Amino acid sequence: MSAASVCLRVTDLAVAYGHIEAVKGISLELQAGEITALVGANGAGKSTTLLALSGLLKATRGTIEFEGEDLSRLAPNQIVQRGVVQVPEGRAILTTLSVLENLQLGAYSRKDPSGMASSLEEIFHLLPRLKDRATQFAGNLSGGEQQMLAIGRALMARPKLLLLDEPSMGLAPILVQEIFRTLVAINQGGLSVLLVEQNVRQALKIARHGFVIETGRIVLADTGARLLADPRVEAAYLGG
């Protein structure tokens, strides 16, 4: 791994809820332009990690460097402006607003309102179902479409690094495939992706590199392909 292509470097990150340390000093590096997976069981500390990267939780220890800049002192909106944008767990779309209005909200932190129209066009190209449903209430979308909308909304902020918290959650396998194909297409445009998943097999299939987290610690780090073939991953996460 060449140091020049690292976009995010997390070093000894710890995050606590009160006295309970949920993330216990993790270190990871993300290569620019890659899909990286952070996988692990329920309660392992995946969401806590993402919330710290987004500035929504403060680290008790460690550093988070994005493109060489320390993010840990920045407010969440400043982190979005640097290009680190999260698709939250559970999608968090606004059901009483239209699809288009939800997308427009994603651009709130942008300083180039004139660029919004072309972003919208790109997103409709990538996610054509959103275009068909642009004027409908977001609440009327299916679960898969709502996840697409959450991704589209994050793209409206023009991220350099997209953070996703379990985008496959609650979706039928065919929709999971569709979401993951979309992530591959987004990544092919050059965007770096950090994909948090309990769907370990599917996530590692599309990830160049992956990290396995257990009770707040990184226990394995390798290429996605090697992790998929690792008997420890097989035994713990793939029903082997």
Instruction: Give 8 or 22: the residue with its C-beta nearer to ligand ADP.
Output: 22
HSE-CB for 222 with a 13 A CA cutoff: 13
Q: List interacting residues with ligand ADP (CB under 6 A).
A: 17, 20, 22, 40, 42-48
Q: Which residue's CB atom is positioned nearest to Mg ion? A: 47
Contact 237, 211 (CB under 8 A): no
Q: Minimum CB separation from Mg ion for residue 2, in Å?
A: 31
Q: Minimum CB separation from Mg ion for residue 52, in Å?
A: 13
Instruction: Give 46 or 153: the residue with its C-beta nearer to Mg ion.
Output: 46
Cα separation, 206 vs 204, whole angstroms: 5
* Chosen from Mg ion, ligand ADP, none, partner binding at 202 (C-beta under 5 to 8 Å by type): none
Q: Minimum CB separation from Mg ion for residue 164, in Å?
A: 11
Three-state secondary-structure class, residue 109 = coil
Q: List interacting residues with Mg ion (CB under 5 A).
A: 46-47
Three-state secondary-structure class, residue 10 = strand
Q: Minimum CB separation from Mg ion for residue 86, in Å?
A: 12
* Chosen from ligand ADP, Mg ion, none, partner binding at 55 (C-beta under 5 to 8 Å by type): none
* Chosen from Mg ion, ligand ADP, none, partner binding at 43 (C-beta under 5 to 8 Å by type): ligand ADP
What b/e sequence results for 168-207 when a residue is b if at least 16 CB atoms lie within 10 Å of its CB, and e otherwise? beebeeebbebbbebbeebbeeebbbbbbbbbbebbbebb
> Distance of alpha carbon 230 from its chain centroid, rounded?
24
